[in-house]
A and B are shown apart, each in its own frame.
Chain A
Amino acid sequence: MSPLRIPLVRIAHARSGDKADWVDFGLFAWNEAGYQLIEREVTAKRVQAHFAPWLAGEVEAWPLPNILAIKLVLKGALQGGGARNLRLDNLGKAMAGALLRLEIEVTQSELDQALNAPRVGWWPE
């Protein structure tokens, strides 16, 4: 079965923050099945390639299976820091959205599992 390419936003959520010239992301799968996919697919190398048009510095990644998350740090991502960055998004607050555009390769059954498994959090209707 040929793999599908899906953007991370289908199976994950994310927040970005800034410290000096570094942007950091928390990337979170909604459930264990989704976590297996992001842990396999979202490597520092892939994230660096995704942000390459934008970013000179290196990327570090730490998997955190205890909270179904991956911690990512992008170095040199803010033109030297928020108070000298000329972009409208000078603090990189919207950059987690750009991370969720990253496309990963999954099989249909892997995707079905990630989409059909319930969210871990309490989300009443």
Chain B
Amino acid sequence: MPMKSVRIGAGLGFYGDNWEPVVASIERGAVNFIASDHLAELTLAILQKDRQRDPTLGYARDVVPMLLRLWPLMRERGVRFVCNAGGLNPQGAAQAVLAAFSAKGWRARVAVVSGDDVLPQLLDAAAPPHHFAHLFSGEPAVNVRERLVFANAYLGAAPIVAALDAGAEIVITGRVADAALFLGPIAHSLGWSLDNREPADLDRLAQGLTLGHLLECSGQGSGGNFGCQGAWQTIPDLAHIGYPIAEVHADGTAWITKAPNTGGRVNFDTVRQQLLYEVHNPHAYQSPDVVLDMGDIALHDEGHDRVRLTGARGLPPSDQLKVVAGYRDGFKAEVTWGFSWPDAWDKAQAAQATIRRLLAEKRVPHDELFVEYPGLNSAHGALAPLPDAATLNEMNEIWTRMVLRTPVKAAADGFGRLFPWLALSGPAYTCGFNGLHNTSELLGIWPTLVPRAAVEAGVRVEILGDAA
């Protein structure tokens, strides 16, 4: 029997986020589900490195301690949990959760959604050359094929609905559209079809997608990271922020709110900052389930941390799915150090010139030497004009951050070693050198498209474990 309304609470907004605010949503927020987004665009790159080290890894490991904290509270109240913490290894994530539960004597019915990995398709040298071109630039994929490290399609809500229909208490996916983590439980609970193409059905899905989009970044939907001058200071108690909660009725009527007696703020301003976050064309926000037009959305601020959402318009989804792939793109080595008054600016410039000379004399291969001054211009770059040299020389201290970009790992590894001798033989009053060994690999991101049918044929929903 479909429910008349459902409440979903936001879990994490990224791998490493704080799950303590979820406790208030479960205990006092009357939620039926928690949905948790562990995968930013680049997270799969981190998980790939884990998996290379240990093939049982490759998932967002915070899901285990998170569920050890939250599952007793959720189970007591019948709250179910959906997350994409599976990353590159949803099976491994589920096994790790079940092993941790087993050690506590807990049981749970866990569903695993897989099939988003499309790396083999991108690596297939027999693929026509125009396939998997860069979504923005049109560059052919052959230019990066040898260097690809992961490629995952964004799945929609359908496998999550299937998992919940099968009675899963916990659903662990790999890459899915972030908002699908929320649209899945909404569609499951309210009996919404994901396949109907009537305008009213699409509009309802668009309402659900919008709610998911508003919740997928945890505290950013309830007053966190609120960018402005002069109002953010009045948002109460961010230390105990309440993550946003969506309430949606079967006809698509919807609200954003949060648990009582929590910090943060849900109002017209905080909700609309999140509404447009990481959106490109607001009249065609793509997802695998529905394309959202925000042009008629209205946010009715009812006060007291409750905003009603109306007017989301839905259009049929495309027959292609978005893929984000990552490819190895050289190395960087990064050094930071400071000089103090007097003449701090001139000393920093002299030291920098010395390093440039050494790079040239030693013929260190590199593409770029990037320089910025933390405390002066590292946040706003050229849009934060520097004071003149006389003023800079009167400052208490000048910090320099130099980053070498190079295709050669040995060049990156040697970069930090160009600096230590300056402590005794360079300009005076230097301190805080950091970066003797500071090489990391750079990754390029390759957004592209893949035919939906080719991916969906391989999507699997598997149930592990037993209900408690």
Closest residue of A by beta carbon distance from B380? A98
A24-B279 contact in complex given A50-B383, A67-B299, A89-B379, C-beta closer than 8 Å? yes
Query: Looking at the complex, which one of A71, A75, A81 makes contact with B444 (CB distance below 8 Å)?
Result: A81
| Contact A28/B378 with A71-B279, A80-B329 known, Cβ cut-off 8 Å | no
Per-position binary interface string of chain A over residues 34-75, scored 1 when its CB falls under 8 Å from any chain B CB and 0 otherwise: 000000000000000011011000001010101111010101
Stretch of B97-105, B190-198, B220-228, B356-364 on the interface side: B220-228
A47, B288: Cα distance in complex, Å: 31
Mask for A82-98, Cβ within 8 A of B = 1, else 0? 11101111000011111
Chain A residues numbered 101-120 whose CB sits less than 8 Å from any CB in chain B: 101, 119-120
Tell me if B282 counts as interface (CB < 8 A to partner A).
Answer: yes
B433 at the interface (CB under 8 A from A): no
Task: Give A54 to B283 CA distance when docked, in angstroms.
Answer: 28
Which of B267, B295, B326, B446 is within 8 Å of A64, CB to CB? B295
Provided the pairs A67-B299, A97-B227, A121-B270 are in contact, do residues A21 and B136 lie with their beta carbons within 8 angstroms? yes
> Would you call B297 an interface residue if the criterion is a C-beta within 8 Å of the partner chain's C-beta atoms?
yes
Q: Which of B135-152 contact A (CB under 8 A)?
A: 135-136
The answer to whether A75 touches B272 (Cβ under 8 A) is no
Shortest CB-to-CB span from B340 to chain A, Å, is 21
Instruction: Quote the shortest CB–CB distance from A21 to chain B (angstroms).
Output: 7
User: Is A88 within 8 A of B379, CB to CB?
Assistant: yes
Count B interface residues, CB 8 Å: 68
Residues from chain B with a CB closer than 8 A to the CB of A68 are 272
Which residues on the A side are within 8 Å of B382 (C-beta)? 53-54
Q: Which residues of A contact B280 (CB under 8 A)?
A: 19, 22, 24, 60, 71, 73
Given contacts A96-B227, A121-B270, contact A64 B445 (CB under 8 A): no
State whether A98 and B45 are in contact (beta carbons under 8 Å apart), knowing that A64-B282, A75-B136, A88-B401 are contacts in the complex.
Answer: no
B344 at the interface (CB under 8 A from A): no
Asked, given contacts A122-B301, A123-B267, whether A100 binds B229 with beta carbons under 8 Å apart, the answer is: yes
In the complex formed, the residue of A with least CB distance to B447 is A20
A18 at the interface (CB under 8 A from B): yes
Choose from B220, B275, B446 the contact partner of A67 (Cβ within 8 Å). B275
Closest to B235 in A: A123
A17's closest neighbor in chain B, by CB? B278
- Beta-carbon contact of A15 and B311 below 8 Å: no
B227-269, CB under 8 A of A: which get 1 and which 0? 1110100100000000000000000000000000000010111
| Nearest chain A CB to B327 CB, angstrom units | 10
**What B residues does A54 contact at CB under 8 A?**
381-383
A62 touches B405 (CB 8 A): no
Within the assembled complex, what's the spacing in Å between the Cα atoms of A18 and B270? 19
Q: Within 8 Å CB of B334, what residues of A?
A: 86
Contacts known (A13-B228, A67-B299, A96-B227); A86 close to B405, Cβ less than 8 A: yes
With a cutoff of 8 Å between Cβ atoms, the chain B residues found around residue A33 in the complex are: none
Name the one of B277, B294, B381 contacting A17, with C-beta atoms under 8 angstroms: B277
Residue B332 CB within 8 A of the other chain? yes
Q: Which of B163-171, B367-375, B453-461 contacts A (4 or more CB under 8 A)?
A: B367-375
Residues on the A chain within 8 Å of B42, using CB:
82-83
Q: B85 interface residue, CB < 8 Å from A?
A: no
A9 and chain B: residue at smallest CB distance: B229
Known: A13-B273, A83-B326, A84-B329. A19 touches B41 (CB 8 A): yes
The reply to whether the CB of B389 lies closer than 8 angstroms to some CB of chain A is no
Chain B 300-315 near chain A by CB (<8 Å), digits 1 or 0: 0111110000010000
Could you tell me which A residues sit within 8 Å of B by CB distance?
9-10, 13-22, 24-26, 28, 30, 50-51, 53-54, 60, 62, 64, 66-69, 71, 73, 75, 80-84, 86-89, 94-98, 100-101, 119-123, 125
6 nearest CB pairs, A to B: A26-B276, A13-B228, A53-B382, A17-B278, A121-B268, A83-B443
A-B pairs with beta carbons under 8 Å apart, 19 shown: A18-B278, A20-B41, A20-B446, A24-B277, A25-B276, A64-B276, A64-B294, A71-B280, A81-B443, A81-B445, A83-B444, A84-B330, A84-B442, A86-B370, A86-B405, A94-B380, A100-B229, A123-B231, A123-B269
Q: A10-B229, A98-B379, A101-B383 are in contact. List 11 more A-B contacts (CB 8 A).
A: A13-B229, A24-B278, A28-B272, A30-B269, A54-B381, A64-B276, A64-B295, A66-B295, A73-B280, A86-B332, A88-B379
